[in-house]
Amino acid sequence: MSSQSQQDVLLRENRRAELARRLILHGVRTDIIMRLTNLTVGRLRTVRRRLGVTDQDRARGPTRWSLSAFLKTTEAQAEGGALVTLCYIHDIPIVPNTPALPKSVSLDFVGRLCDTYEAFCACYPETQVELEHLILIRRGLSVDPKEALVQVGKCRICKCLLLQERFSANECWHCDLTPTRKKGGSRPRKARGQTRN
């Protein structure tokens, strides 16, 4: 193997580890990280250990969030619409009848996925949404439109994008005269391994 090839392999492995670090800090579960980065369980364990993420802090089990959580409040619907918009901005199109994650995932795709979620967190710093929910939205919107339970719609007043149930027409949380926002006291999302102040 030439020195250039060895250097390429090392750079690719470093990039995999860096993307795994970002995914771990965003609370993504091990099986999804393995699928996105092709790293082994042992390698992920090493990355978690170096980050100081304990077994108690890491996400375990299946994703428990359903798309219905994005439909409970007008603020959540707006967050869903913002996620969809950011997907298109970061070149992660949501196309009907396609899987939420491609069968062969490129590292560029994973980087764009992280960039999309990080841009969303910059817009909504108090959000409870995690990166896995972005994948869940892609899955929910990638089904056949005739079978979809949710759709991207527009506010009846200001026309901003919202995540809505099919055939519904709502106002966004800015225009809603009777807001259904979550009550105060909700905790902001935190990166894994960090403590709340």
Q: Domains of the chain: which residue ranges?
A: 3-51, 67-165
- What token pair was written down for 11? 């750079």
Query: Mean pLDDT over residues 57-83, rounded?
Result: 78
> Residue 148: what are its φ and ψ, rounded to 5°?
-65, 140
- What is the pLDDT, as a whole number, of residue 37? 92
Q: Does position 166 have pLDDT exceeding 80, yes or no?
A: no
Query: How far is Cα 107 from Cα 112, in angstroms, rounded to an integer?
Result: 9
Residue 183 pLDDT grade (very low, low, confident, very high; cuts 50, 70, 90)? very low
Residue 151 is inside which H or E element, if any?
A: strand 150-154
Query: Mean pLDDT over residues 105-134, rounded?
Result: 91
Query: Considering only CA atoms, which of 194, 165, 179, 169 is closest in space to residue 69?
Result: 165
pTM exceeding the 0.95 threshold for the entire prediction: no
Residue 108 pLDDT grade (very low, low, confident, very high; cuts 50, 70, 90)? very high
Residue 120 is inside which H or E element, if any?
A: helix 107-123
Residue 187 pLDDT grade (very low, low, confident, very high; cuts 50, 70, 90)? very low
